[in-house]
Amino acid sequence: MSAVDEILSQVDINQLAQEVGAPPDEVEQAARTALPALLGGLEANAADPAGSASLQQALGQHSSSLIDGGVDLSQVDTTDGAKIASNIFGSNEEQVVNQLGGVGGGASKGIIAKLIPILAPIVLSWLVKQVTGKAGGATPSAQGGQAGSGGLGDILGQVLGGATQGARQGTGGGSGNIISDVLGGLLGGGRR
């Protein structure tokens, strides 16, 4: 199962559709467009030593409890989600939303803009669960190391690299190469 499918399996699309005020099929398409961008942005930031350290700090401030047993959208902090998205995309956030809004014909910029602050904390919660599973249960803040040094940086690289590879191959609907083809150099613009 791809990371996108795994994350979406934890979210009630009908509840998400009510949250953003759009039809469920459009919201699901928009989520399948936005999630690879969020994962790709995290991967791009984790590839930079300062970005990896920032991501490690963010993971230490979040838990997997948001996705455990399915996401209750009333528990999602969209203010935190907006901060996460800003850290992921940096000054490129508006450009990313604009690019994502033109992908696949089904995802409007308005829906994407509403979804990103909702999905960002869910993605971090999912990532915490993946990282703690690969780290033998240790919390992200308890794991040291930068990218390439054998610690959390390597685990992040494995998890995010696998997640974005799955997202590139498994999203369909014209968004399969969204990370490289559409967003190109916009990813990795987050705070480092």
90 pLDDT band, cuts 50/70/90, is: confident
pLDDT of residue 122: 96
Determine contact, residues 65/150, Cβ cutoff 8 Å: no
Give the DSSP letter string of 67-102.
TTTS--GGG--HHHHHHHHHHHHGGGHHHHHHHHHT
Q: Is the pLDDT of residue 160 over 90?
A: no
Percent of the chain with pLDDT over 90: 35
Percent of the chain with pLDDT over 70: 67
pLDDT of residue 105: 56
Averaged pLDDT of the chain = 77
> Which segment of 44-48, 67-71, 76-80, 137-141 scores lowest on mean pLDDT?
137-141
Q: What is the mean pLDDT of residues 125-137?
A: 78
Q: What is the mean pLDDT of residues 129-146?
A: 59
178 pLDDT band, cuts 50/70/90, is: very low
Per mean pLDDT, which of 19-33, 39-53, 104-118 is the most reliable? Answer: 19-33
Cα–Cα nearest to 86, from 49, 36, 52, 121: 121
Query: Any idea what DSSP says for residue 104?
Result: T
Sign of CA dihedral 84, 167, 173, 1: negative
How far apart (Å, rounded) are the C-alpha atoms in residues 40 and 89? 10
Sign of CA dihedral 22, 25, 27, 29: negative
Cα–Cα nearest to 84, from 32, 23, 126, 48: 126
Q: Is the pLDDT of residue 47 over 70?
A: yes
Cα–Cα nearest to 37, from 163, 183, 170: 183
* Residue ranges covered by each domain of the chain: 3-180
